[in-house]
Amino acid sequence: MFDLVAPPSSGRVHHGSVVVRLGDSSPGGRARLDALARLLQDVADDDARHAGFGAYTWVVRRTVLRVDAFPTYLEPLQLTTWCAGFGAAWAERRISVRGERGGRVDSATLWVHVDPQSLRPSRMPREFLEVFGPSADGRTVSSKQLLDDAPADQAGAAWPLRFTDFDVLEHVNNAMYLAPVEQELTDRRSLRAPMTVVVEHGDPIERDDEVRWIVRDRADGGFDGWLVNASTDARRQFAAVSVVSVVPASGA
């Protein structure tokens, strides 16, 4: 379902380096999923700014994380990123993470280009395509929802929002959506790397929303999860918030 394409033979490729810090790590010393999402977000932003496109506004539609081996506390990481495909108003960014101790993560994130005032999708500018287009080599990607809707027979549990969940767009930052996944993993000790994590975003979570977390076990040993809007009709508004799916890598 999710094609993590290889690095390109031509076109723009950006490299970055980080170290897994204390605030990135679980009590057991592995890098948390929400911390990995922040690292990926930062290196993508660095690439765009270095290329002269720092003023553009993007929102995440989908993130795929294939974790073959979790990076660990104080492990130096090398991050490599490139544009791997385009749609009318979005681009797929591939990022590979390689650690000096064997940490290995691959990611594909679908970023939607939006108008900074209306926050509505806006077509990809020609100058952006000229810089980032060659590495995609003509590959196109879809923004269509790929994960299932929330089950109608489950209410889920309340997921309280915190001030620290919100970013400068006044929406919950995309990395926060992996926090309930991390919480779920605390009760699923057998579910560890290698694994594939997929997050699809609908409408943003805003300050006054009441959010619930719904979980359903998968036959392959993973789980599906949803953050739904409980302040209105949760079933009718489900797709407006988020869908989260976690499966072992063998099921990707």
List pLDDT tens digits, range 92-150: 999 999 999 999 999 999 999 998 888 789 998 999 999 999 999 999 999 998 888 88
Percent pLDDT > 70 in the chain is: 91
User: Around Cβ 158, how many Cβ atoms within 10 Å?
Assistant: 11
How many angstroms from the chain centroid is the CA of residue 43? 13
Identify whether 180 is preceded by a cis peptide bond (ω within 30 of 0): no
Q: What is the pLDDT of residue 94?
A: 97
Lowest mean pLDDT among 11-20, 44-53, 84-93, 191-200: 191-200
Q: What is the pLDDT of residue 156?
A: 87
Q: What is the pLDDT of residue 30?
A: 96
Contact predicate 103/69, CB 8 Å: yes
The CATH superfamily of 14-136 is: Hotdog Thioesterase (3.10.129.10)
> What is the reported pTM?
0.90
List pLDDT tens digits, range 181-196: 999 999 888 888 889 9
List pLDDT tens digits, range 200-245: 987 778 888 888 899 988 888 889 899 987 765 544 333 333 435 5
User: Cβ contacts of residue 235 below 8 Å, gap of 6+?
Assistant: 150, 152
Closest CA to 33 of 175, 217, 227: 175
Q: What is the DSSP letter of 31?
A: B
Q: So what CATH class is 157-251? A: alpha beta
Q: What is the pLDDT of residue 205?
A: 82
How many angstroms from the chain centroid is the CA of residue 154? 25
| pLDDT surpassing 70 at residue 151 | yes
* Cα 207 from Cα 117, distance rounded (Å): 19
User: CATH 3.10.129.10: which residues of the chain?
Assistant: 14-136, 157-251
Token pair, residue 192, equals 């560890």
Q: What is the pLDDT of residue 77?
A: 98
Tell how strand 104-114 and strand 90-99 pair up.
antiparallel
